[in-house]
Structure 1
Amino acid sequence: MINDLSPLLLIHFLSASYAILAGAAIFLMRKGTQTHRVIGTSYIAAMFVTVLSVVPVPATVMPFFGTRFGFFHIFVVVGFISLLFGIRALRRWHTTRDLEWLRAHQIHLAYSYAGLLMAGFSQMATNPRWLVVAPFETMTQFWIAFAAVNAGIYAVAIWLIQTRIAKGDPMRWKRTRG
């Protein structure tokens, strides 16, 4: 399974796996604590490694105009931008203490995590290397599986972000519950 991965893909796989675990921990923990900052910083670092380690990997599906870049490299750009916006929003919040910047930080990094889950579960659902599915007989079957996995994860992410993060006080997780 992972024994035949190139060193770059192995780094990508390991950093993405760590980011999935760290992101889940962050989602479940109280925000603003030292633990949140440490795990959050490690999540950001793991995501940068995840994103940057896959850029040089040649596309195997839908390469663009004979280049090594393909359809899935678009998601690398989206993930990188989401991370940058989340970091920028946190820096702005630290400077201004405007709670809308804190909310923006939470939303951007929640979408970053959703994108990570979408990429990971898409691979599990569509790549026979992971032994979850048999090879698809047609590209139509591939795209149906890809779309179904991503639509499901994205729908749950939007619901969680809109009901749990985008509304209410962005500092609510910092306060002690009584």
Structure 2
Amino acid sequence: MTLDLAAHGAALVCSGVASCCARSGPADGRRERIVASMLMTAAMLDAAALHLAAPIVWAAALLAAAMVSSVTRRWRAGRGGHGVYVPAGLVVMAALIASSMHGDPFSTAAATHAHSGPALTGICAALAVGYTAASAYRMRRGSPTDRAHHAAMGGSTALMALGALL
């Protein structure tokens, strides 16, 4: 087993924990957290093992979900809202999934990745560090299940970034 595969497997475990804990927290945010967690877990599972869809398809689905989440959040709560934690997580995961190289190494996407690899990897690492720090901050408050959800989301993101860097 390679270190890359181990990091993806650990990220999937964290994502599964986050999906299980998504039912915690305020009632108005539960549905959003459940859908986001399940979508991220599905994208990670497919990118790491199944390869049913291209990573760019998952990235587009994650970005679309982030936009829908932001719009519905603003519609429900006005400008004050509950923050951007869930939509930001979807965007960070979309970046990590899009930057992953799975499939045919001689494809056009792989050739493009080879030329822009260091810059894209650096951006993804910076996004992952920022989201992991936000998860650690949010982990300090809330119910134990809420804390577990934020810890699992941060851990999953950090492990996905590690897998992308390997």
Q: Place the TM-score, normalised by the shorter chain, in its bin.
A: 0.3 to 0.5
Greater CA radius of gyration, 1 or 2? 1
Q: Which has the higher contact order (CA 8 A, sep 6+)?
A: 2
Structure with greater helix share of residues? 2
